[in-house]
Amino acid sequence: MLRTIFYYLKLGLMWLGLFALTKAYFLFVNLGMETQFLSNFIQVWRAGILLDLSMVGYLSVVPILGILLGKIMPRITPKSTLNLWLVYLAVFSSGYGFRRLLFLLLGTKNKP
């Protein structure tokens, strides 16, 4: 069980590293490499760390619940947990497209 906890801690750190890398890429593309790149990056990273941590939690909650349920009910296998996580990830990542569709259908905003 301790190995599982360390695995999810490492996975969370991997997600945080990926989010930091995408923020650095965004700043590089939009601002270019200027003398204040590092200070801008640190400021953006500090402003968004809570959002990044919540995103890591959202991405980790289903596999962790699946593992805990697998300990209680042995019928739940790691494969079924993986399938559930993939469905969750697909639904979670399609939220932006669904929001655009609602805005188009309902006409609540001109630009989504």
- State pLDDT tens for residues 65-103: 777 777 787 776 767 777 777 777 777 666 656 666 666
- Given the structure tokens 């805990």, which residue do they identify? 68
Give me 12's structure tokens. Answer: 């969370």
Confidence of residue 25 (pLDDT cuts 50, 70, 90): confident
Give me 107's structure tokens. Answer: 């006409």
Which residues, other chains included, contact 13 with Cβ-Cβ below 8 Å and sequence gap of 6+? none
Separation of alpha carbons 64 and 53, rounded Å = 16
- Residue 4, pLDDT above cutoff 80: no
